[in-house]
Amino acid sequence: MKRMNFKKHLFLLVMVVAGLVDLKAQDKRPPNFIIILADDLGYGDLGSYGHPTIRTPHLDTLAQQGIRFTQFYVAANVCSPSRAGLLTGRLPVRTGVTGGLGVFFPHSATGLPTSEVTIAKALKAKGYSTGIVGKWHLGSKPQYLPNNYGFDEYFGIPYSNDMIPGNNNIPYPPLPLYHNSQVLETNPDQHQLTKRYTEASIDFIRTNKDKPFFLYYPNNAPHVPLYASNDFDGKSKRGLYGDVVQELDWSVGRIIQTLKGLKLDDNTFVLFLSDNGPWLTEKENGGSAGLLADGKASTYEGGMRVPAIGWWPGTIQPAVSTSLASSLDVLPTLLHWAGTPLPADRPLDGFDIGDLFTGKKESIREIFYYYNSDKLFAIRKGVWKANFTTHSGYNPKLPEPHDPPLIYNLENDPSEKYNIASTHPELVQEFKKLYAEQVEKVKPAPSELAKFEEGPVNEAFKALIKQREAQSKLKQD
């Protein structure tokens, strides 16, 4: 009888403990997520990625404490399509953020289709507070502003900071600074924007510290025109570009300091990356892709391989990852960590790479497709890359097709200098097959970037395009 009582009490004790564990699991708050996106920052522009004179101590510390990727790619080589890919986990060719003038402009008639499921929309449905601070660049008409894509709070500018009255002789409207759907002011002092973005980001974190939150912080720096506040102007050995990057680094440091002060750091995943490669035609006002070829607007490595750092104390261990990864993988990863299902009614191009961040796996993604607008220019598989078409960023000459494709071993030759196609005919055939399959499988959606409102801005663009086409023809003749 005593033995049975002992067993009964033991059983009850086990059930109570199990119940407590289950309650604790249920009470465990989902992680917070912060994505910090730089604009036109090159692969070689941070200290942790080898820049000799730009000082980025806060980002370098994140890289030392977290995971620094050396082979991380964005979905596109210019702003709007890259941001669409990051937020939806889908190639821009699927969402129609291709064609036209390459990105959204103030006279664009549409934006990212509102039917798309963004990270913010999915997390908001899970109970997250969602906010965006900075540059949106996925549509500027009222129905295409961030609050229509799952963001509870929006503070920032709707498109690039160079889309200001008179630039390139285009009669742009005054640059608006928004809070949600209201314009707070026009033509804000851009010297102060990073400081204002930083404070808005910190306010969002503090306001939502007691519940799960997602903060998307796409600063417009270091996109030209360059502006640094008085605290950073003239402080970098790299000139004004370096000043701007160092202020961005300061901003990241302030956000991390806030997380630590609120004791949120152990339950917050922070991802820092750039939206595309450096704007090389801006010369000293643009950045550097380091040892990578070319930059922004190209499908060479310098156009689409970017610095990327993941940080989550206690979950992500210090590491340098040479694994292939992409901004397309962010949505599936965050949704998995949040415990919310992926959209089941549309194809995704990203993978859950949580096990890369945590070191449980060394490889998840094997293939990456490089699109230039809606055209497939190159494919990477493993260490190999095949360039079917090449075009240097903003080069007035026409893109150059290659048959057979140019093939490089990117781990031996990240600068794409040594074409080995002639000695690897089997790779040529394999990549041609992959190319045909991808083109057949993924059909371009109608272009949203080719839809414009009539008016002075559109007329000025038509004139500018004609002028540049004439100049290009003269150079080619």
Catalytic residues: 79, 137
Q: What angle do CA 260, 264, 268 make, to 5 degrees?
A: 110
- Contact between 41 and 254 under an 8 Å Cβ cutoff? The reply is no
Is residue 214 within 8 Å of residue 151, measured between CB atoms? no
What is the rounded CA–CA span in Å between residue 374 and residue 94? 9
Helix axes 239-261, 193-207, angle to 10 degrees: 10
Distance, in Å, from the CA atom of 148 to the CA atom of 22, rounded to the nearest integer, reads: 37
Longest CA span, the chain: 103
Q: Which residues pair with 297 in a beta bridge?
A: none
Here the tokens at position 285 are 């006002």
Q: Which residue has the tokens 């992680």?
A: 31
Quote the CA–CA distance of 28 and 77 in Å, as a whole number: 39
Residue type, 305: R
